[in-house]
Structure 1
Amino acid sequence: MKDSVSYKVFKVVNTIILLLVVFITVFPFINVLAQSFSSEAYINAGKVNLIPRGFNIDTYRTVAKDAMFWTNYKNTVVYTVVGTAISMFMTTIFAYALSKKRLMGRKFLTMFAVFTMFFNGGLIPNYVLINSLGFANSIWAIVVPGAISIYNMLIMKSFFENMPEELEEAASIDGLNTYGILFRIILPLSKAIMATMMLFYAVGHWNSWFSAFLYMDQKELFPVTVYLRNLIAGATGGASAGATSADNLTQISANIKSVTMVLTILPILLIYPFVQKYFVSGVMLGSVKG
């Protein structure tokens, strides 16, 4: 059967709208990328849109020549990997425990966890606590305080609650204990939600900078986000790491924000396609039941 005229019109309009949405979504990324490779004259004049104008890589070259940048970049990778591993482990076991109705004090523990989403000790008590624990100037100051995201835990808890109880009963009859059921039965069936939570935590740790800025005073321990933040502050304030001339400083001041965004989001953009297929299904499966 041939499509009706109204359906053909619908498809055309729908295609135009979707293309417009795609353009609106992608344009800021392309614009930032174009600015990062443009000269300061065109950037200040507002003439850079989708294509670089006055191709220039002085800022990239300045950043790449600085050994501290690569040290801090390595720190970010380490913090992200370790932090994500700790967060996934703690969130998974906490969510799995709370998903069991037979757990004594389940409602209290859930309300206690939710309470922390709205109230915390404040900046100064947290700072005093981290220092008293000896976490200052160490990786633990970054990966431990925010190890569990209650929002992520609640999503994972809902996902576990929707799994058939018969699976665990059958595994228990076969001789598996609680840990065996979790690691050999439940987790292999939870790849979607696990990949989604892993992406959430990895992005959070990768973009984090305030914890390191607050709890660390050794440049060798900074993540790359703090390095780039200091580079922006230096360029806008008149002194930049690696800048050796007034012209170089002017160029860095013009497009340092664009370069910063590109260097920060590039690794995440490269990883995202590999977990994208799990992303939507993981969130949807975990939000079916509240």
Structure 2
Amino acid sequence: MARKKAGFYNEDPISGSAFQLIIELDEQEMRCMSKTVDNGTIVAFEYFSLDKDQTEDWNDIFYEIKTISKLFNKTYKQVTCFFCTPESILVPEKFLTATSAEDYLNLIYGESSRMEVKYEKLIATRSFINTYRIKKSLAELLTRQFIIFQTSHVYTSLLNDVMNRRKNEEQLVKLQFYHGHFIMAIFKDAKIQMIQTFSFKIAEDAVYYIIRGAQQFGINTEFAIVELSGMIDLNTELYLQLKKVYVNIEIDSMEANGIMFEVNKEYAHHYFAPFFKLAL
């Protein structure tokens, strides 16, 4: 079942040949925004919870979204869907061939005939390829809905953003939170050490993964910088426990434009910052 949790809109037009639709999708939520192609002004934003059980497929979810969304049924000059899925690995470009991407993913996550393999170059490193896979049925649904659309992966956007902004950090941990899961990326001497998605239900679970990552890669929790963004409230047990682990925590946000000013009146500025950065 799809449920709209938030919707913010400028006055029409918010769709058509002068606009781009950007979607971020995971198993639990979907976020959409429309922005102008010429100057990048964000004119509309929608946020959906996908209370999807094992018996409900994406056809049902998309049908429900189309009945409650002001953006999903419109036409756009461009449509880009960012997948926030855990089945992704970074492969050195010199080791990537037409078949090796699928082989690597099968080795790590298991073989599946229902998945479609995608890959894209990390501009910030110029040496790694982000290889990931998505459900074929989901790709087919998006094709029927929008005919022509581009796909990307949230890891690619996150890594390009962080590595362009923070090239000189000796030790950096990026934590990007969503509902029920978070992405952790660890950098040492401006080089990516790992990026992975972790699911959690209670604060202790998330903190365990964060401490384990620091131990595994030799991160000094009194020296390293943690950059925090996404769906985490700063007065919760999770944040309070995180402050006990890391001394230097910075909150990442971005300069507002367009409808973001209205969104930021109801949500903390860092809350949807990872999504709005996809428009840059």
TM range (shorter): under 0.3
User: Could you state the TM-score of these two structures normalised by the residue count of structure 2?
Assistant: 0.22
Q: TM-score, normalised by structure 1?
A: 0.21
- More contact order relative to length (CA 8 Å, sep ≥ 6): 1
Higher helix share: 1
Q: Which has the higher strand share?
A: 2
- Answer with 1 or 2: which has the greater Rg: 1
